[in-house]
Amino acid sequence: MLTIETGVDGTVIMAGRLDAAQSVKAQAFLDQTSGQVVLDCRSLEYISSAGLGVFLRTQKRLLQSSGKLRLTGVGPHLLDIFKYSGFDQIFEIEAAT
C-alpha cells in the first residue's frame, strides 16, 4: 500500500510501497504539484521501475517551468536503485541519516 499526503510545510510525504499497482495514484498526486517540490522518502519502503517512471515524468514536467523534485530521507535500498538507474544524476537526492 502507498499513502501520499502533503505535510504542514508543503513537503510531499510518501509512505509504503510505490509499485506498478500504485504508480497511477502517485502520478495523479504529483501531477498536481508545481515549483520546488520536496518529497520525503523516509517512510517509502520500496520502489520499482514504475515508481521511477513517476518520478522521472514529474521531474521533466517541473523542469519545464523552472521547478524541480528533490528527494529527501532516501534509505539505502532506494539509494541503490537510484544509483543503478542513473537517477542520482538527474535528481537531487538526500540520503537518510
Partner 1 sequence: MSGARHGLSAEELEPILAVTRQLAAAFDLMAMLREVAQAAQAVLKAERCSVWLYDAAVDELVLHVSADLAAVRIPAGSGIVGACARSREAINVPDCYADARFNQELDQHSHFHTRCMLSLPLIGHRDDLVGVIQVLNKIGGVFDADDAALAGALAAQCAVALQRTQMTAALIEGEKLRQQLELARAVQMSTLPTAMPDVPGYEVFGVFKPADLTGGDTFDLALIDQGLLVVLGDATGHGIAPALHVTQMHAMLRMAFRLGADLETAFTQVNNQLAGTLPDDRFITAFIGILDTAAHRLKFHSGGQAPILLYQPASGQCARFDPTSFPLAAMPVSKLRAPVTLEMTPGTILALLSDGIYEYRNGTGEEFGEARVAALIRGSCRQHPKDLVDLLLGAVAGFAGGAPQEDDITMVIVKRRGSAAYRAFARSIDELEAIFAFTADSLARFGAEPSLAGAVDFVIEELFTNMVKYSGSSTAPVEIDIDPIEAGVEVRLVERDVDEFDVTRAPPVDIHAPIGEREPGGLGLHLIPKMVDAITYRYDAQARESRISFRKTAGARSAPNQGPS
* Interface contacts to partner 1, rule CB under 8 A: 1, 17, 19-21, 42-43, 45-46, 48-50, 52-53, 56-57, 59-60, 63, 73, 75-81, 84-86, 89-90, 96-97
Phi, psi of 93 (to 5 degrees): -120, 135
Rounded least distance, CB 32 to partner 1, Å: 19
Rounded least distance, CB 8 to partner 1, Å: 19
Pick between residue 50 and residue 70 the one whose CB is nearest to partner 1. Answer: 50
Question: Which residues partner with 17 through β-bridges?
Answer: 46
Pick between residue 33 and residue 47 the one whose CB is nearest to partner 1. Answer: 47
Pick between residue 9 and residue 76 the one whose CB is nearest to partner 1. Answer: 76
Q: Which is it for the CA torsion 54, 23, 70, 29, positive or negative?
A: positive
Q: CB neighbours of 13 closer than 8 A, spacing ≥ 6?
A: 3, 4, 5, 6, 7, 40, 43
